[in-house]
Every structure is written in structure tokens, then in C-alpha cells.
Amino acid sequence: MSVATPPASSAEASGHGRWRQLVADWSSDQRAFQVSWGKAMMWIFLLSDTFIFSCFLTGYMTVRISSTIPWPNPSVVFGLKIGAAEVPLLLIAIMTFVLISSSGTMAMAVNFAYRRERVRAAVLMFVTAAFGVCFVSMQVFEWSKLILQEGVRPWGNPMGAPQFGSTFFMITGFHGLHVSAGVIYLITVAVRLLKGRYDGPGGKGGTGGNYQIVEIAGLYWHFVDLVWVFIFALFYLW
């Protein structure tokens, strides 16, 4: 004689139902916790990048504190000669001003995007990208000066502690890579914005469009600017 299996309790059934609904929502690219997938993934990426930069900067501070050889004076190493005068940190100050200004133009682009003024938003994104190109160009000049004129190498440094070259090129190079990738990202989004790729069924600027990609790009760019503030303080002012 067969024994009937007792029916599952209503609590178990509702629990299984909630899990099935959660899996269905995630697999169909639905929003989780009222945050779009694009924004959530960008936050996760930025969190992982925060850990990487934190490890780099912590390692740099440890090496610098424990070094028995004097560390090069940033005011001298990163100074620019204007005529007969040596101006300390002039190039770095300009680089910082350019990058911080780019955060302002990016914020304005996000504002215009949410007001559905896509042309103005795209123009401001191009301006932000131009600031980024300017920053990277000045960084290339800075590297060229240190390598060709000062003789700094990743494995040596004639001005003091040999670890200076390795930590400097690694951290500023990794940040410069982020800025370069951000420039490409901003230009790509701006071009698509002008072409109406993010507009809804209502056409250009229609209410059905989704311009949140501009805010997501802004999150990345503001993160890059914030990281530079820490690099500026620890490398050039310390």
C-alpha cells in the first residue's frame, strides 16, 4: 500500500515562490533593490577599483616610511623652469585644476541628460573628454621629463630612494590608464547620445528614453577625479 506524501506547508510554498520570483527577475534583467543593473554593476566595479587603489597607496606609504634612503623632494622633482625661476608643482597644479574642472562639466552633462537636453549633455561630455585628454597629455610630458631629463626609472632613481620610480610610475600610470579609458567611454556615450540611441519611442528627447547611461559614466569619471585627489596629496604634497 502506497503512503501519500504530506503536502508542503503554506510557509514553504510561499518561500519557494519568492525565490523563484527573485531568480526570474534577475535572469530577465529586472531591477534589484530599485537600482538599475547598469548602475549597480558600475558601483561594484568602482568598489573593486577602490580596493586596488587603496592597496597601491598603502604599499606606497609603507615603502616610503620604511625607506632608509631620503625620498626625493616633490617640490624639486616636479618643478617647472619658467625663465630663470624654478616654479614648484606648477604642472601638477594645472593638471589638478583641469581634472577637477572636468568633474564640473560632467555634473552639468548629467543634469542636462535628466532634463532630456541630449545635445547639451553630449557637448559637455565632449568637453569633459577634452579635459581628460589634456590631463593625460600633461602626464605624458611629466613622465618624459622624469625619464629623459632626470633619469628616473622603475628600478632606480638618481635623486634618492630607488622605490620612488616604481611606485610613482605604477600608481600614476594606473590612474592615467583609467583616465584614458574614461575619455573613450565618454566619447562613445556622447556620440550615441547625439545619434538618439538612448531615446524612447517618442523620438528625440521622448519621454520613453533612458539617459541614465550619462549618470553611470559620470560615476566613473567622478571616481577617477577623487582618486587623483588622494594621489595628489600623498605623492606631490607629502
CATH assignment at residue 199: 1.20.120.80
pLDDT exceeds 70 at position 81: yes
72 is a domain residue: yes
Report the range of poorest mean pLDDT among 23-32, 87-96, 165-174, 200-209: 200-209
**pTM for this prediction:** 0.82
* Structure confidence at residue 94 (pLDDT): 94
171 is a domain residue: yes
State the residue range of the domain holding 68.
36-236
224 is a domain residue: yes
pLDDT exceeds 70 at position 12: no
89 is a domain residue: yes
* Structure confidence at residue 24 (pLDDT): 67
CA distances from 112 to 120, 172, 193, 206, 238 (A): 6, 32, 12, 14, 39
* Structure confidence at residue 207 (pLDDT): 47
Instruction: Tell me how far the alpha carbon of residue 47 is from its chain's centroid.
Output: 11
Burial 104-113 (b: 16+ CB within 10 A, else e): ebbebbbbbb
pLDDT band at residue 206 under the 50/70/90 scheme: very low
Q: Read off the pLDDT of each residue in 68-76 and give the average, rounded to a whole number.
A: 86
